[in-house]
Amino acid sequence: MSSSPGSVQALVDHLFRHEAGRMVAILTRLFGIHNLELAEDILQDTLHQALKDWGQGPIPDNPSGWLMVVAKRKAINAVRRERLHRSFAKDMDALLKSEWTAAYTMDQVFLEDEIKDSQLRMIFTCCHPALPMEGQLALTLKTLCGFSIPEIAAALLTTESNINKRLYRVREKIRNEEIPFTVPAGQLLLKRLDAVLLVIYLLFNEGYNSSGDNAVIRQDLCLEAMRLAVLLTEKAVTNTYQPVYALLALLCFHSARFDARMDTNNSLIVLEEQDRSRWNRELISQGLQFLSQSTGGNQVTAYHLEAAIAAEHCLAPDFPSTNWTRIHNYYTELEKLKPSSVIRLNLAIVTGKTDGPHAALRLLHNLEQNRALDNYYLLDASLGEFYQQLGKKEEAGTYFRRAQQLTRSTAIREVLEKKIARL
Amino acid sequence: MNQFLIIVKGSDHSVASQEKMQKRLERFGEWVQKVLNGRFVAGAPLEDTDARLLKSKTEVLTDGPFLESKEMISGYIVISANDIEEATELTKKCPLLDEFQLELRRMKPMAQ
């Protein structure tokens, strides 16, 4: 492999995203969550050494392995340096501080299966319900997904200083409330697992639907959310919980359409006009596999219903042959389970397919009067759409223009611009 | 819960190969992980060099080995256990016992 500075930087960036979460999880397992900063320092240090060494000499055959070996060596040094004035993880402290057991303990924690165990602990810690949701999202991206501060800011559509503040507050809260670095057990496990699923769901949605202009970051967000969900299926404590598979199925179906949603100018293509041959068949069949693994229990969650809806879209050979009746039923169930204005909005749109534009407009105007979706462009865009179907160009134009003013996404504004032009 | 001191009697630290030492630590680590399982409190192997035997304020023996290698202490371990019976059972499984004698002593608890 050649090692021009650019390619080294690119390789390190790529590897870093993949290895950072694993390394921080292991180091936190050793040092304890109260020493999260020490873990992150070692990670940064390892990265700098990779940039330096690989820039000068040949790139190692197994770069991931190299990073792990270096991180481990730095961890051993940190233990030697800090052993007299720091306490490490409660169940590791004595073992790391004795020459009898230090090396063995270190080796054990770096074993593949233990790494997954540490990552699982990290997921449950980052998604602890005692932490504010925005803090959970930022911390998950930082520690589990290896996002830098500017990347988190881009992903969550806020400023770097805001992200720094959120991370500072959330770390302080972990210390003050003594949030443990453990996987909960018993009844608590399922409740906490629901909190984890919610964070994964929100991260994915942020990537999939956000109005951010950084397409690379948004795709990375989706991939990372999927990776975390897959991790939950790999460990015995979490892989019997069926909603995990329902969520994963949902993420697969959405991801399958990721590329087909964008044209060459990075503009959004609506479902109706997407080239279905560009949908990723492999992801769809994986999604169906997960969906079948998610059923059989007595629990139907919102993830099950949303996955079922997405599956209907993925399985329809073309837009007109979509089974709208079945989708309508799923949305009706979903609305009962998780009553929200956004779901009522979707239900109204689907009603337009099953019962015609008049029925849809009735529901949409009800929503408009509720005012809960006052600033949501999709309500106005939908009203415009159905007025257009009835040939009422003036009303349609008014709503499309209002929708345009409500969205920050250039891609969506362009879609609306096209619709106005076609009136 | 009591704490017990395990004294490792006998030493080969100045003659044992690095490989042998490494193998020993590995088996020791397994014992700590699987048998002690959270009951390891502290401990360290001891160097054979840099040893002094202070018999009084004036009589300090410096030129080791001042003891038969069998009598030299090559390490100590502190474990926690309910009583001497449990501590004995745990210690019986210690791999160091294949090579050395182990002396097990209950530590005086701190006064309440």
Exposure string of A134-146, with b = 16+ CB inside 10 Å and e = fewer, is bbbbbbbbbbbbb
CA distance A139 to A166: 8
- Taking the Cβ of residue B41 and every Cβ of chain A, the question of whether any pair is shorter than 8 Å is answered with yes
For residue A335, give every residue at least 6 positions away whose Cβ sits within 8 Å of its Cβ, in sequence order, or none.
A343, A344, A347
- Contact: A100, B33; criterion CB under 8 Å: no
CB A205 within 8 A of CB A86: no
- Under the banding of pLDDT at 50, 70 and 90, the label for residue A1 is very low
Lowest mean pLDDT among A3-12, A91-100, A190-199, B23-32: A3-12
For an interface test with A, which of B7, B22, B25 has the most A Cβ atoms less than 10 Å from its Cβ?
Answer: B25
- Taking the Cβ of residue B21 and every Cβ of chain A, the question of whether any pair is shorter than 8 Å is answered with no
CA distance B26 to B29: 5
**Residue A290 tokens, joined:** 């997960």
Q: Helix or strand or coil: residue A238?
A: coil
Is B44 a residue whose pLDDT tops 70? yes
Is B36 a residue whose pLDDT tops 70? yes
* Secondary structure string (H, E, C) spanning B76-90: EEEEEECCHHHHHHH
CB A344 within 8 A of CB A370: no
- Contact: B26, A94; criterion CB under 8 Å: no
- Select the residue of A94, A97, A104 nearest B29 (Cβ to Cβ): A104
pTM of the model: 0.85
Is A152 a residue whose pLDDT tops 50? yes
Is A236 a residue whose pLDDT tops 80? yes
- Contact: B28, A104; criterion CB under 8 Å: yes
Work out the average pLDDT over A84-89: 94
Contacts of B43 in chain A (CB under 8 A): 98, 100
CA distance A227 to A204: 11
CA distance A192 to A216: 31
CA distances from B48 to B43, B44, B68 (A): 16, 13, 12
Q: Helix or strand or coil: residue B61?
A: strand
- Taking the Cβ of residue B65 and every Cβ of chain A, the question of whether any pair is shorter than 8 Å is answered with no
CB pairs under 8 A between A and B: 40
Contacts of B25 in chain A (CB under 8 A): 100-101, 103-104
Work out the average pLDDT over B99-107: 96
Rounded CA Rg of chain B: 16
DSSP 8-class letter at A259: G
- Taking the Cβ of residue B45 and every Cβ of chain A, the question of whether any pair is shorter than 8 Å is answered with yes
**Cα-Cα-Cα-Cα dihedral sign, residues A288, A293, A296, A301:** negative
Is A413 a residue whose pLDDT tops 60? yes
- Select the residue of A94, A99, A104 nearest B26 (Cβ to Cβ): A104
**β-sheet bridge partners, residue B6:** B77, B104
Rounded CA Rg of chain A: 24
- Under the banding of pLDDT at 50, 70 and 90, the label for residue A423 is confident
- Contact: A100, B43; criterion CB under 8 Å: yes
Is B49 a residue whose pLDDT tops 70? yes
Amino acid at B2: N
- Measured in whole angstroms, how far is the alpha carbon of residue A402 from the centre of its chain? 30
For an interface test with A, which of B27, B33, B47, B74 has the most A Cβ atoms less than 10 Å from its Cβ?
Answer: B33
Is A2 a residue whose pLDDT tops 50? no
Is A265 a residue whose pLDDT tops 80? no
B37: nearest CA in chain A? A91
> What is the full DSSP assignment across B4-43?
EEEEEE---TTTS-HHHHHHHHHHHHHIIIIIITT-EEEE
Maximum CA extent, chain A? 82
B32: nearest CA in chain A? A101
What's chain A's average pLDDT? 91
**Residue A366 tokens, joined:** 């009800």
Is A168 a residue whose pLDDT tops 60? yes
**β-sheet bridge partners, residue A268:** A262
- Measured in whole angstroms, how far is the alpha carbon of residue A421 from the centre of its chain? 35
- Contact: B40, A101; criterion CB under 8 Å: yes
**Residue A210 tokens, joined:** 């956000």
Q: Which of A100, A28, A79 is nearest to B41 (CA)?
A: A100
Maximum CA extent, chain B? 47
CB A113 within 8 A of CB A228: no
Lowest mean pLDDT among A30-39, A260-269, A344-353, B14-23: A260-269
Backbone angles phi, psi at A238, to 5 degrees: -110, -10
- Under the banding of pLDDT at 50, 70 and 90, the label for residue A4 is low
User: What local confidence, expressed as pLDDT, does residue A358 receive?
Assistant: 96
Q: Which of A354, A360, A353 is nearest to A399 (CA)?
A: A360
Percent of all residues in chain A with a pLDDT value above 90, rounded to a whole number? 74
User: What local confidence, expressed as pLDDT, does residue A212 receive?
Assistant: 66
**Residue B60 tokens, joined:** 């300090």
Is B8 a residue whose pLDDT tops 80? yes
What ipTM is given for this predicted complex?
0.88
- Contact: A98, B42; criterion CB under 8 Å: yes
Is A3 a residue whose pLDDT tops 60? no
Backbone angles phi, psi at A375, to 5 degrees: -110, 20
- Other CB atoms within a 10 A radius of the CB of residue A198 amount to 16
Work out the average pLDDT over A197-217: 84
- Other CB atoms within a 10 A radius of the CB of residue B16 amount to 16
